Amino acid sequence: MWKHPAVPYVAPFVAFLCFLAVEKYLPFGPEIAYPLRFVAVAAILGWFSRKLVSWRASRPLASILLGAAVFVIWIGPDLLWPHYREHWIFQNAVTGKIRMDAPAELKTNLVFLVFRSLGCFALVPMVEELFWRGWLPRWLIDPDDFRRAPLGAYTVSSFWIGSILFASEHGPYWDVGLAAGLLYNWWMIRTRNLADCIVAHAVTNALLTAYILGADQWRYWL
């Protein structure tokens, strides 16, 4: 099972989701849970996926600009319409509720801030791009052997199913998650290079991290 070709693409993402699912049941808070998750998922990523991950984008400047554009899309609706995300279509029993602020002790916990930030702009882009752009669309195109579909392979169904599922992962932010998924998927088709998508995603998340910490907008992390 561990030698299955899908494992390097899927295992880090599954591990990440498993940690998310059990964290609320752990006997300690996020100041310990986040560093633990980071170390565990990074270890799985390094063990299984190190040969697949690269930051050598074929179009680095364009990837950076795309990542910045997705960041603007992400925070834009809330800046333009402050009560926009209070609508039931965003916060409900299915998508969940937004927590607007974090406990004061978390905001001053350096270990938590370091690991939460690194997880956001360094770990998550690699984990998610391996799964959402590196594996899922290719598997949707050829479930028997996804490797027969090259990176950036396109069908209407794989493009839209992947984008919609990516949106669903982001709960009350599903609308901007959908926009991000569409753009990242399009970029993979254009570049056929996983590193370009990792760079774009990392730039988005780095800018979002800076915005969260600089403008005290913790709702994007909670």
Instruction: Identify the pLDDT of residue 1.
Output: 61
- For the ranges 96-100, 166-170, 171-175, which has the lowest average pLDDT? 96-100
Percent pLDDT > 90 in the chain is 88
pLDDT at 194 over 70: yes
User: CA-CA distance, 1 to 214, in Å (whole number)?
Assistant: 44
Q: Against a cut of 0.75, is the pTM above it?
A: yes
pLDDT at 88 over 80: yes
In a domain, 36, yes or no: no
pLDDT at 222 over 80: no
For the beta carbon of residue 193, count every other beta carbon within 10 angstroms: 20
Give the mean model confidence (pLDDT) for residues 173-196.
98
Instruction: Identify the pLDDT of residue 95.
Output: 95
Instruction: Identify the pLDDT of residue 36.
Output: 93
Burial class (CB in 10 A: 0-12, 13-18, 19+), 148: exposed
DSSP line for 1-47: -TTSTTHHHHHHHHHHHHHHHHGGGSSS-HHHHHHHHHHHHHHHHHH
- For the ranges 22-26, 135-139, 173-177, which has the lowest average pLDDT? 22-26
Residue 134 sits in which domain range?
55-220
Instruction: Identify the pLDDT of residue 149.
Output: 97
Give the mean model confidence (pLDDT) for residues 161-175.
97
Whether residue 20 contacts residue 14, with contact meaning beta carbons closer than 8 Å, is answered with no
In a domain, 209, yes or no: yes
Instruction: Identify the pLDDT of residue 96.
Output: 94
In a domain, 152, yes or no: yes
In degrees, rounded to 5, the angle at the alpha carbon of residue 153 between the alpha carbons of residues 16 and 63 is 65
Give the mean model confidence (pLDDT) for residues 159-175.
97
In a domain, 165, yes or no: yes
Give the mean model confidence (pLDDT) for residues 163-184.
97
Number of domains forming the structure of the chain: 1
In a domain, 204, yes or no: yes
For the beta carbon of residue 17, count every other beta carbon within 10 angstroms: 14
Instruction: Identify the pLDDT of residue 56.
Output: 92
In a domain, 33, yes or no: no
Percent pLDDT > 70 in the chain is 99
Whether residue 208 contacts residue 120, with contact meaning beta carbons closer than 8 Å, is answered with yes
Give the mean model confidence (pLDDT) for residues 48-58.
93
In a domain, 128, yes or no: yes
- CA nearest neighbour of 20 among 128, 106, 108, 103: 128
Instruction: Identify the pLDDT of residue 207.
Output: 98
Instruction: Identify the pLDDT of residue 205.
Output: 98
